[in-house]
Amino acid sequence: MMKTIRSICQSLSLTALLTLSAFTQAESSATLGPNGETATPFTDIKLTTEQQESLKTKAYTAAILMHSTSDWSSALIAGAKDSFGQLNIEVVAVTDAEFDANKQRTDVETIMAMKPDILIALVVDPVSGAAAFKPAVEQGSKLVLISNLPKGFVHGKDYAGIVTDDLFQMGKIAADLIAKSVGGKGKIGFIYHEANYYVTNQRDQAVLTHLAKNYPDIEIVAKRGIANANDGEVIASALITQFNDIKAIYAPWDSIAEGVVSATRAAGRSDIKVVTMDLGAANALDMAKQRNVAGIVTDLPYDLGQTLAHMGALAKLGEPTPPFVTVSASGVTRENLAQAWQHALRRELPKAVSKALNN
C-alpha cells in the first residue's frame, strides 16, 4: 500500500503542474463565458404572460441529457421538469451519461428518434460532444447547454445559450471556507479536476487565485490531479501519507470529497478538514456530525433547471436568448446547512442529517 501511494504521488506531481499551467482564463472579478461573454443573471430570464400562454398551446416536447447522477443533478432535473410542466411541455426522456462520452453519444442517438423540440444537456466532452449533438441540432431541436460548450458551436445557430454557476464566486467562497476551517493559516492539500472541463477548471483555478491573493499564510503543499471521481480516496490517502501536517484538503466536487473523507477516517485524522463544491447527502451528514467536512459551496441547481427550461422555451418561440447565463452560489457550514439544503435543492433535508444536526 505504501509503495502504491508513493508511486501515485510521483506520477501525479508532473501532470498536476502541467494541467494547472494550462489554465488560460486571466484573473478577473467576474465569471466570463467560454468565449469571454459577459454573464447575464439568471433572474433576467423570464417569460411574459403572453409567451407562457402561447407555449401552452404548442404541446412541445423536451429531453434532458445529464452527465451523471447526484443530488445536484436531481434538483436540476426537478426544476426543469416543473417549469416545463407549467408550460405544457412534455419531458420525453432523461438520461445519465455516467461521465462517458460514448454513452452520451448513444443517448443522443436514442433521443433523436423522439424528435424533441428542446434539448437540455451537459456535454461530457467538448470535442466528441460536438459531433454527437450536431445532428440533433440540424434535426431542429433547440439546444440549451449546462456549463460546457461543444467545440465549434456558435450561439444562435447551434445552441440557444449556456447556463452555469458563477464560477468565480464559487471559487472565492471555497477559498474563504478553507481559510475559516484552518484559522487562516497552515498547510493544505489541493485536489483538482485533471480534464479539459470548463466548469471545474474555472472553479479550481478561482480557488487557487483567491487563496494566493487573500491568504498568504495558507500554504498549498501539494496539488494533485484527478480524472476518475472514484480515485478520491486513494489520492487523498497519498496526500495524508506524504504530508502528515496538512490541516485541510480541497476536493473539486462532492463525490470526490466522499473519497477524501474516507481517507481521513482510514488514517484516523479527524483533524483534517475537507472543503468541496456541490451539496450531497453523504457530505452533509459528515458535516452535521461535526466530523471532517467543514465547508461546501452550493449553487442553485433547482433554479438552474428552471432557467434552462425557460431558455429552451424562448428559443422555440424564436425569441432572442443571451449566450451566457449564471446562477449565484453561497457557502454552507453546519450552522446554515438545513436552510441551504432546502434553498438549493428544494426538498427536505435527509432524516439522518436532520437528526445529526439536532443532536
**Segment 209-224, tens digit of pLDDT:** 999 999 999 999 999 9
Average pLDDT over residues 165-171: 95
Other C-beta atoms closer than 10 Å to the C-beta of 176 total 19
pTM of the model: 0.85
d(CA 223, CA 208): 10
What are the angstrom distances between the C-alpha of 92 and each of 84, 85, 113, 146, 227?
11, 12, 11, 19, 32
**In the prediction, which pLDDT does 259 show?**
98
**In the prediction, which pLDDT does 8 show?**
34
**In the prediction, which pLDDT does 97 show?**
95
285-317 confidence digits (pLDDT tens): 999 999 999 999 999 999 999 999 999 999 999
Selected residue with higher pLDDT from 198 and 163: 163
Other C-beta atoms closer than 10 Å to the C-beta of 228 total 12
**In the prediction, which pLDDT does 29 show?**
60
Cell numbers given for 302: 433547482
Whether the per-residue pLDDT at 7 is higher than 70: the answer is no
Band of pLDDT at residue 102, cut at 50, 70 and 90: very high
**In the prediction, which pLDDT does 99 show?**
86
Band of pLDDT at residue 334, cut at 50, 70 and 90: very high
Whether the per-residue pLDDT at 27 is higher than 50: the answer is no
131-150 confidence digits (pLDDT tens): 999 999 999 999 999 999 99
Whether the per-residue pLDDT at 202 is higher than 50: the answer is yes
Where are the domain boundaries for CATH 3.40.50.2300 in the chain? 2-30+167-298+332-358, 40-164+301-327
What CATH number does the domain located at 2-30+167-298+332-358 have?
3.40.50.2300
Average pLDDT over residues 184-192: 98
Whether the per-residue pLDDT at 350 is higher than 50: the answer is yes
Whether the per-residue pLDDT at 9 is higher than 70: the answer is no
**In the prediction, which pLDDT does 196 show?**
81
222-232 confidence digits (pLDDT tens): 999 999 999 99
Class of domain 40-164+301-327: alpha beta
Whether the per-residue pLDDT at 23 is higher than 70: the answer is no
282-292 confidence digits (pLDDT tens): 999 999 999 99
Percent of the chain with pLDDT over 70: 92
Whether the per-residue pLDDT at 127 is higher than 80: the answer is yes
**For 157, phi and psi rounded to 5 degrees?**
-110, -55
Residues 6+ apart with CB under 8 A from 148: 122, 123, 124, 126, 129, 162, 197, 198, 199
pLDDT, averaged across the chain: 91
Helix axes 337-345, 71-86, angle to 10 degrees: 40
Half-sphere CA count of 217, side-chain side, radius 13 A: 8
